[in-house]
Amino acid sequence: MKGERVTVREILKRYGSVTAVEDVSVDVEAGEFLSLLGPSGSGKTTLLMMIAGFDLPTAGLIEIGARDLTYVAPNKRNVGMVFQKYALFPHMSVHDNVAFPLRMRKIDRAQIARRVGDALAMVQLDAYGDRMPTQLSGGQQQRVALARALVFEPPVLLMDEPLGALDKKLREQLQIEIKTLQQRLGVTVIYVTHDQEEALTMSDRIAVMNDGHIVQIGSPADLYSEPASPFVADFIGKMNFLSVEYLGSEKAGHQIRVADASTLSVTRSVNGRAVELSPGLSLQAAIRPENISLAARGSGGPHAIAGTVDTSIYLGTHQILLVNIDGRNGPPLHIQTSASRDLSAFARGDAVDILFQADSIHLFSGKDGVQ
């Protein structure tokens, strides 16, 4: 099995006066695992359905390999498809479900038996061929659906939130299994999800979608560490946002004021819409919970921000502290620390100094609000 390149060029999809996908272009390399990530209504499933052929674009081009498939019927595209609801035939055995696409392609019986056996072994269900779908767990049914999608060796596999109906532990297990299988087979995967942790776990690259557009595309590490907008920063991982005032630039970096008193130096440039930087400009600062630390009040140095601990939450591998900035209205900061630290170090009501890593603060134009 060998993956093929998928090319999407300036795809537009309208339903009457409603535009679901607009001017989307993306190249998915052969053997790549690309996730389409976004909230409900962002256009990700509509885009996937157009690649599959179940929905036709209003304008644009879709190619797989060197073939223009923009308006080709789904059964002529030679792509595998896995849905959230499994879509297994309830009156057929596991073996017959997996064999179905081979029978539609007029493959001879001996080859069908061999390929179905190989496909079920691939998903660790080779002893389940005689069972009916109703005799299987949700995770087993999804494995059958995956085997059926791969048995005819498609170069491209499309997956529409296939793990959304499973419990958290099973979902995490299958994420690793699907990624490992995809790497071994070399098939190209386009995977729709609204779960950012799932996308970070499985993907070579992630295309973040919002309002029918791809707003940023890159590796999981790139999107996490270099979000291009407040929307991406807020959607990928956890992020704290602060309204700050721009004071000017010095050798140490941009100077900003937080909570009408404390000043910070930020070494990163301002992202988002182009703006003229001048003293008094309103900006948004964003920082990950793991890039904030606490110290006892008065010990944090000249750039510490005064705060008060509101809540402490123990989560096994780490601890979350909710801390209010003194003199500032708004939600508390989420601060993540290692659970190996002394859990009694800070308690509710403690006065603390909040310390930010200057090179971990993202600045965005105040016009680019979190959506």
| pLDDT tier for residue 117 given thresholds of 50, 70 and 90 | very high
Residue 129 has pLDDT above 90, yes or no: yes
Q: Return all residues near 239 (Cβ < 8 A) that are at least 6 apart.
A: 227, 233, 286, 287, 288, 289
Q: What is the pLDDT at residue 341? A: 63
Reduced to 3 states, what is the DSSP secondary structure of residue 185? helix
| DSSP type of residue 51 | H
Which residue bears the tokens 């680019």? 368
Lowest-confidence segment of 39-43, 149-153, 271-275, 306-310 by average pLDDT: 271-275
Mean pLDDT of the chain: 90
Q: What is the DSSP letter of 92?
A: S
Distance CA 282, CA 273 (A): 13
Mean pLDDT of 231-255: 88
Q: Which domains does the chain have, with CATH numbers?
A: 6-228 (3.40.50.300), 235-365 (2.40.50.140)
Predicted local distance difference test score (pLDDT) of residue 371:
43
Rounded CA gap, 335 and 357, in Å? 12
Q: What are the residues facing 257 on neighbouring strands?
A: 245, 263
pTM over 0.85, yes/no: yes
Residues above pLDDT 90, as percent of the chain: 66
Q: Is 214 helix (H, G, I), strand (E, B) or coil?
A: strand
What does the pLDDT look like over 212-242, one tens digit per residue? 999 999 999 999 999 999 999 999 989 999 9
> CA–CA separation, 265 vs 78, rounded Å?
55
Is-contact 147 82, C-beta < 8 A? no
What does the pLDDT average to over 320-325?
94
pLDDT at 260 over 80: no
Q: What single DSSP character describes residue 280?
A: T
Q: Tell me how far the alpha carbon of residue 348 is from its chain's centroid.
A: 34
